[in-house]
Every structure is written in C-alpha cells, then in structure tokens.
Structure 1
C-alpha cells in the first residue's frame, strides 16, 4: 500500500498531527470520538437509519479511523481522494430526525463540524492523558491550525474550527444546549463502548479494554447525559494501566502496535504501516488541499 507518492501531504514529518494521529492513543481517542458523535441528534438519526455500525461495526469504524489517519499522514492526492469518496457516501445519508421532525444530512456543515472537532479533540486529549503528555504551546497552536486545514476537505467552514484549547471549550459550551440523547443515541453509544460478543471476539474484547479509558477523559456532564458514567475509582485505576499499555505499544519496535491495530482495525493498520515504512515522496514538501485537488484532477 502506497500512501505517500507525491508529497508529505498537508502537515509533514515534524507536525503534531503526524505525532498525535499515528500514536497508539488514537485508538482510545477514536472510540471516544465516535461515541460523542451521537450527542448530535441528526448524526444519531443518520447512524440509526443506515444501521452500518450494527451490520458491520468493525468495518464501519475501521474505515472511519483509516480516513482520519489518511488525511493526517498521506500525500495530498490520496487524502483528497478518500475525503471525496467519504462525501459521496455521506450524500446518501439523508432522512427525518425523529425528535425534531427536521430533515438531516450527514454532510450538513454543523454535523460535519461536530464530527471534526470531537475527532481532533479526542485524539489530542487521549494523547495527553495516556501518551507522552501535553504538546508544547507552539505545537498545540499548530495542531489546531492543522485541524483547520483538514476541515477544508469537509463541508464545514475551516474558520469555524477552534484555533485553541480555549476556543474548543467555548465551542462545547455553545453547542451544549443542542446536544441530547435518545433511544437511538443510547443504543449506539453503549454498542460502541461495549460491543456485543456476537460481533466478534476481537471487537468485543477491544471495545471493553478501551471503553474505561475513553470514558475517563470525558467531563462528568457528558458521561451523565450518555448514561455511561463510571466511578472515580475506575478512572483512577484505568489511567496507569492505559499508560503502561501505551508505553509498551510505543516502543521503537512498532510491530506490537501494528499487531494490536491489525486485530482491531485492519484497514487502519494498513495505513499506519504504510506511514511508518514509506520513504521520502517524489517532492519532499507539503501541499495545500487546493494544490492536492489540482493534482488529483490532473491524474484522473
């Protein structure tokens, strides 16, 4: 699998995005993010109507994480290609949201913004708590600038993406009144945290290993709203265990990390392995999404 033919993509080897998205903590962060998505009633309705996480939970989740990782580390042409493919899939996810009776679309800018922010914030939060620790102020500023660049591939406005941790908090404060749970949302969130055994032993076990660590990073109001809160004693106990597990997977020999990823998310593991083993691209520089799209059109 070749993901870096032309260039270093949008961010490059020294970027915090490469560091955070390719870390094993991204597995915990991703579970956190896909659970939070369901606080948006329109996304919860889209998930319920498509039934993708119930028919093929492993494949659906794996492809989504592979998308985020590809955008972060692949060359620009590859990243734009997978983003366009995802937008085409989302274009079919339309219907009526049962709580409000309003129409929903998975490609609606507000829903796309919620997915984007919860995804980037979740992987950073788990990287800080269970991985190497907080980014430097300069790296964190750059991380959110890179999140805005990645948003150019979606329908939301890049300028709406927070540019700092304070702006992230402000965003959550502003949207809190629009968030809710429902029968659909409750079912999906608990399914993602504790996937039934009949969906495969690996996914069953993997979800249960990651869930306590993912929940421990969430504010109490989210945990209570989603009805998946856990005692403070569990939070305290899971933190050193998760940190030790991440240290073991972060060793110089990346084979353990790849082996774990392949068991839980094989498509993501393919992207990760390609990232870790790729040599220098033809042009050893970064590109903008606009430049990448021009290159994609030229090769069509």
Structure 2
C-alpha cells in the first residue's frame, strides 16, 4: 500500500455519483439516532475492539502507535464521546474531521514489508463498519427489538455517518446485501489473529478503571477482573461470526447459544425498567436535551470528564482526543448535576 491518501474533500461517492446531500439524514427520527448511544453498547466493547484489530493494517497501527494498552480504560471511555459526536453533535462534520485527523500521523511498515496508514479508506471503513454494524449485532443480542427494515435503514444511514469524516467513499458497499457479502468476505478472507487482538480480549492485567472508588482494594479488583474477563469473553464469543470463532480457536455449543439468548432477553427486560433518558450515553443524552430544549442548541458539546484524559506529555499528542475544556456535566449552569463516564 502506498502512503498517498485519497483526497479527503469533497465528500463524494466517486463510483456512484452520490454526494452527501443525497444521503439520508441522521436526525432524531433516524434509526441510527435511536439505536446508537445505548449503554448496552458497553457489552460490545471486546467485540468491537477485537474485530477492529483483526484487520492486519489496523492492528499494525494500534500495536506500533497507540498507547491503548497503557491507558486502556481512559482511552475507551473518552473515545466514545467524539465517536458519538459524529452522529449526535450540532456540527457533526467538524467532530468527524477531528476524529479523522487524529489518524493523520498513524502510518508505518508491517512485518511483511507492506505499508499501512490509518486513513487508508479500506482500513478506516472497516473500523466504521464495526461501529455501525455493531448496532445491529447489539440489538439482535441484547435489544431493543430490531426489524429488517431497521437494519436496512441503519445501513443507508451508515453511509451518511461515514461521509461526514471526509474520507473516500470508495469502500462503502452499495446495498445492505452488498455489505453482508463484504462482512462475510472480511471474516473469512481478510481478518487475522494478532497480539493486539489477544491483548484487547484480556482484561485481567488492567489496572482498576478510573470510575471505581480510589479505596477499592487491589486484590478485590483482581478478582473482579478475572471473573469479568470470563463473562465478557463468553459474551464476545457469542457475538462473533462462526469463521471468527474458528480462527480464534473458540468453541460455542448449543447450550452456550441458549444461555446467550436468555442472557440477552434478561438484559433487554432490565433495560426497559430504566428511564429512557438514562439508557443513553452522555453525548447522546446531551443531543436529546438539545432537541427537547433542556440545553440551548448553541451550547458547547458535552466532553469527557477530566479523569479520562491522557496524562502528562500524551495530552499534547495529536493522536488523542483531549479537549482542554473537558468538564463534568454539572459544571454548566443549564445542565443537571450528573456524573458521566
């Protein structure tokens, strides 16, 4: 692969002649707005991270450039803010370009001598595919109920979502059926096991997350991590396509499938007991507040709490999302005093 990137502007589908104006919107009435930003997405964490890192070029970039493995909790918790902002922010294109530009300097040479760049359209689209298609996988497994029409609408809207980044639309499939063929091709022909994948799947060596009380004993966290790792690894195995399970050497029985479905129904039932507002991630909730008039439309977007920011010199590294005005929700006069992750 060469290091010459395809032009970022204008955002046009050169192979199909469709500009951004021809794509569906992502407003409050969209399927993406409805399914994305639900806290159930946290159950997809290991699936999303591992599926992304199975792309050989993406794995190489993460392994060589990212401090993901040194501050994994913080990076995960802060990254969901700008990623969600590409859907929910009042000026989503600006947020999307910021996310895109975090990847400008992530490039290098792979072990086989090939070159990689994070903004290679095929690599960047794969990462996007795990986010938008993750909505379908999450809903199928954990709710809320999703129809075939919803899935097709999510696909169409995913094109709008991706176009906001200002990256070539060349890899984007034409139809939902084409996307399913693309996904199957990636799972059976392209994706590979990698040390970055295995590291993502192992949370037993992680320090306590920043949202745990500082007085939590280390031994207690260790026990929680071991137990949690077994549970999340089982859930992730259930979410994987069968070719991925085979590649990773994972087994999945009929009993596992039955228990997995029961677990998913239980999650969906419990989530229905939670007020709709609190089923949502803070950035999605912030968008809901703007639509409802609880927050002015021109108010600054809600940023990640300071506890999730990179430490030391890493705060100035352009590959990190690190807003200098990061603050808790309660610091703004028109916002309620809530604790956000």
TM-score (norm 1): 0.74
Indicate how the Cα distance of structure 1 residues 118 and 102 shifts in structure 2: closer, same or farther if over 3 A, else same. same
Paired residue for 1:223?
245
TM-superposed CA distance for 1:114, in Å, is 0.7
Q: Which has the higher contact order (CA 8 A, sep 6+)?
A: 1
Which whole-Å CA distance do the structure 2 matches of 1:85 and 1:188 have between them? Answer: 27
- Check the 8 A contact 1:126/1:214 in 2, yes or no: no
Q: How does 1:136-147 map to 2 (within 5 A)?
A: 136-137=148-149, 139-147=150-158
Structure 1: 5+ residue stretches without partners: 1-8, 259-268, 284-300
Paired residue for 2:145?
133
Indicate how the Cα distance of structure 1 residues 208 and 158 shifts in structure 2: closer, same or farther if over 3 A, else same. farther
RMSD over equivalenced CA pairs, Å: 2.9
Which whole-Å CA distance do the structure 2 matches of 1:166 and 1:136 have between them? Answer: 12
Which whole-Å CA distance do the structure 1 matches of 2:252 and 2:57 have between them? Answer: 27
Indicate how the Cα distance of structure 1 residues 11 and 255 shifts in structure 2: closer, same or farther if over 3 A, else same. closer
Q: Tell me the SS of whatever aligns to 1:95.
A: strand
Q: Tell me the SS of whatever aligns to 2:105.
A: coil
Paired residue for 1:262?
none
- Residue by residue over 1:156-191, the C-alpha shift from the partner in whole angstroms, topping out at 9 and shown as x without a partner, is 433632354422221023333222223x23433423
Indicate how the Cα distance of structure 1 residues 30 and 164 shifts in structure 2: closer, same or farther if over 3 A, else same. farther
Paired residue for 2:182?
171
Q: Tell me the SS of whatever aligns to 1:53.
A: coil
Which whole-Å CA distance do the structure 1 matches of 2:139 and 2:177 have between them? Answer: 18
Q: How does 1:24-173 map to 2 (within 5 A)?
A: 24-75=39-90, 77=91, 79-98=92-111, 100-137=112-149, 139-154=150-165, 156-158=167-169, 160-173=171-184
Which whole-Å CA distance do the structure 2 matches of 1:233 and 1:179 have between them? Answer: 27
- Check the 8 A contact 1:109/1:155 in 2, yes or no: no
Q: Tell me the SS of whatever aligns to 1:64.
A: helix
TM-superposed CA distance for 1:81, in Å, is 2.5
Aligned pairs, number: 258
- Check the 8 A contact 1:213/1:235 in 2, yes or no: no
- Residue by residue over 1:125-159, the C-alpha shift from the partner in whole angstroms, topping out at 9 and shown as x without a partner, is 1112220222242x332211110011113364336
TM-superposed CA distance for 1:96, in Å, is 1.4
- Check the 8 A contact 2:121/2:169 in 1, yes or no: no
TM-superposed CA distance for 1:18, in Å, is 1.0
TM-superposed CA distance for 1:41, in Å, is 0.7
Indicate how the Cα distance of structure 1 residues 240 and 179 shifts in structure 2: closer, same or farther if over 3 A, else same. same
TM-superposed CA distance for 1:277, in Å, is 2.9
Which whole-Å CA distance do the structure 1 matches of 2:107 and 2:236 have between them? Answer: 29
Q: How does 1:204-283 map to 2 (within 5 A)?
A: 204=225, 209-251=231-273, 253-254=275-276, 257=279, 269-278=281-290, 279-280=292-293
Which whole-Å CA distance do the structure 1 matches of 2:261 and 2:151 have between them? Answer: 22
The list of structure 1 runs, each at least 4 consecutive aligned residues, that deviate by more than 6 angstroms after superposition, is: none
1:198 has 2:213 as partner: no
TM-score (norm 2): 0.66
Which whole-Å CA distance do the structure 1 matches of 2:170 and 2:272 have between them? Answer: 34
Q: Tell me the SS of whatever aligns to 2:68.
A: helix
- Check the 8 A contact 1:140/1:164 in 2, yes or no: no
